Amino acid sequence: MMKLEELDEKYGLYKTIDILKDSRINIFCKAGGGFLFFTLLIVGYFIDNQNLLFPFSRDYTLIIQYASLIIGFILYAFLHELLHFIAAKITKIQVKFVPSGLFPYTTIQGDITSKKKYFFFVLAPFVLFTLLLIPAVILTKIFAPNWFWLPYIILMQNIATSSGDFVAIFYLNRYHDCFVQDDDERILVYIPTEDFSIYHEKEKAFYEKKMAKKEKKRLRKKRFQDAAKLGKDLAKSQKENPHEDEDSNDLDDLSKLDM
């Protein structure tokens, strides 16, 4: 970890990722989490559609099963933040706990860290829990199928709640050489000042391509609207002037007589 004043002079602040205030990023996180959760729910249904959530079994009461699920949720939340804390200690990142609901969450204390260390700090709980929960799901399905949904729902929670981390990594991964400062609400990205123009041109080309595609879509939609409007106007005109068709029929009959 280093302080801002210790950062090499060749690095400068290039990008601010405001996770809380940027509505696009916020929606991206929430929509991504919801999509992952319901996708995994559908997958789980196909794996064990006979015992959706928990079966009405004589061996286990629903009270015990749902109580176990609630305890699992609480335990997961606690261990998730604990793993963030352990990952921070391993990489020597200074962190603090911010109160939020039942459990505080772990956040960096505003110092600057390398992208590699930041990725390790962010992804440690997701990777470890996934490696533990997938075998647990398989073994439970084989040896205790009545309890299949307990580890599986916690696995769903692990993947879905990591959507915000995935979004942060998506934005940071585009920068090959960068340092990261996380002040809880925003992620500040520092890259070499000599690379500013390179990334600026890349992002400019990306947005120009995106805007061109959007404009092409808008023009196509407008053409369909104009064609529909023209069709309605023509139908309305024919309805208001029905004799025009009769005149054209008369002309057709006269041309036949001339022949």
Q: What is the pLDDT of residue 259?
A: 47
Q: What is the pLDDT of residue 190?
A: 92
Nearest-angstrom CA–CA distance, 119 and 87: 10
What phi-psi label fits residue 137: left (phi over 0), alpha (psi between -120 and 50 degrees) or beta?
alpha
Q: What is the pLDDT of residue 56?
A: 47
Q: What is the pLDDT of residue 151?
A: 92
Q: What is the pLDDT of residue 31?
A: 87
Give the pLDDT means over successive 10-residue stretches in the chain (259 positions): 71 85 80 89 82 56 81 90 91 81 74 90 94 95 86 92 87 90 83 88 80 86 82 74 54 49
Q: What is the pLDDT of residue 254?
A: 46
Q: What is the pLDDT of residue 249?
A: 52
Alpha carbon distances (Å) from 219 to 14, 59, 226: 35, 64, 10
